[in-house]
């Protein structure tokens, strides 16, 4: 097990362990080299029981809602470097692998989402994990910040594309 300082990555890893899903945690200290270029590290290689195996980059995010009476907004931004890295890993690993983001949301105790989402408890906090495949993300992504080189999905697109991680891994 790689030592994880990021609680989102640690929570997702503990989820994989608790579900007895085979995985490899990638040590992110060094970037990988391929064809004279470095590739942004991914976080996990996950072996699915059926379907393609997954190359995962975990993105820790929060649910944004000013109060419980308003609709929820799920942050889902990524950098262009994140997108390019996952695409390169998918090409390198070949047809038996699919790259994607796992958006790991730490939800507050009083969140309305706690009754709507499938949650995982880790170190006293509640998390929801959603996968968006990189090819699907790319098709719908929109620019967020040119200076930061970030992109995002509109909420409707995110709701359409996101899949609960357990539905994909244990399908």
Q: Tell me the pLDDT tens digit for each residue of 68-124.
A: 555 557 899 999 999 999 999 999 999 999 999 999 999 877 776 666 678 899 999
Q: Which of 72, 56, 76, 54 is nearest to 64 (CA)?
A: 72
Long-range contacts at 115-119 (CB < 8 A, ≥ 24 apart): 118/164, 118/166
User: Using alpha carbons only, how large is the chain's radius of gyration in Å?
Assistant: 16
Tokens standing for 132? 């968006």
Measured distance CA(166)–CA(129) in Å, rounded: 8
Q: What is the pLDDT of residues 32-82, one digit of tens each?
A: 656 667 888 899 999 988 778 999 999 998 766 655 555 557 899 999 999
For the full predicted model, state whether its pTM sits above 0.75: yes
3-state secondary structure at position 103: strand
Tokens standing for 83? 């997108």
């Amino acid at each position: 097990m790689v030592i994880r300082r990021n609680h989102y990555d640690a929570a997702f890893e503990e989820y994989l362990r608790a579900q007895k899903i085979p995985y490899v945690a990638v040590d992110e200290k060094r970037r990988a080299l391929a064809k004279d270029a470095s590739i942004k590290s991914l976080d996990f290689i996950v072996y699915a029981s059926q379907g393609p195996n997954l190359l995962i980059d975990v993105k820790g995010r929060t649910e944004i809602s000013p109060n419980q009476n308003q609709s929820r907004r799920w942050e889902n931004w990524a950098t262009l470097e994140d997108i390019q890295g996952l695409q390169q890993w998918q090409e390198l690993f070949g047809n038996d692998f699919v790259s994607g983001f796992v958006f790991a949301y730490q939800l507050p105790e009083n969140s309305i989402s706690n009754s709507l989402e499938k949650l995982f408890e880790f170190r006293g906090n509640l998390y929801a994990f959603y996968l968006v495949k990189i090819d699907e993300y790319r098709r719908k992504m929109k620019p967020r910040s040119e200076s930061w080189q970030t992109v995002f999905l509109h909420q409707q697109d995110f709701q359409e594309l996101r899949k609960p991680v357990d539905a994909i891994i244990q399908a």
